[in-house]
Amino acid sequence: MSPIARMFAAGAALVAVASGAAYAQNYSLNPLYGTVNLTAGYTPDPYVVNVTSGGQRNAANVSPSCRGSIAEAPDFRVNYQAGSFPLIISVNSSADTTLVVNGPDGSWYCDDDSGNAGMNPSLRFGSPQSGQYDIWVGDYGGGNNAAQLHISELYTQ
């Protein structure tokens, strides 16, 4: 292979690797289980959504600190108008679930076992931003299991 051909091949490989994370999660897709608009002080609290955990994508593609398998599209979207309360996003399941959230500022947040029963995830935003939160409920073991997504200002599930 000529030196020029090797440079083009190396460049193509670099583009494929660099674009992998962007392809893994697509928050522009419609959420699999819907969208809700919540304003601080909402009721009922927690807002609960039944979901199925897991998917075909490795959550580590988002960040090395993320765990489990997740879907390409978000599982759920929360359009949140912040007030003086924290925002707590957690999962309750008999399976070992994980959580990946893309916040209003475009940052990625992940958790594995900070929630209920040591196998459920929970993320607490102490001073949450107003805006769109895209949420993926992952499965640590790579399966698909029944789970409940909890959106709360008061409780960790």
Please tell me the chain's helix, strand, coil percentages from 3-state DSSP, rounded to the nearest 5: 20, 35, 45
Please provide the DSSP assignment of 68-85 as one string.
SEE-SS-SEEEEEE--SS
Length of the chain: 157
pLDDT of the chain along its 157 residues, tens only? Answer: 443 433 333 333 323 333 334 445 788 899 999 999 999 999 999 999 999 999 999 999 999 999 999 999 999 999 999 999 999 999 999 999 999 999 999 999 999 999 877 889 999 999 999 999 999 999 999 999 999 999 999 986 6
> Amino acid identity of 81?
Q
Domain covering 26-152, topology: Jelly Rolls (2.60.120)
Q: Other CB atoms closer than 10 Å to residue 31's CB: what's the count?
A: 20
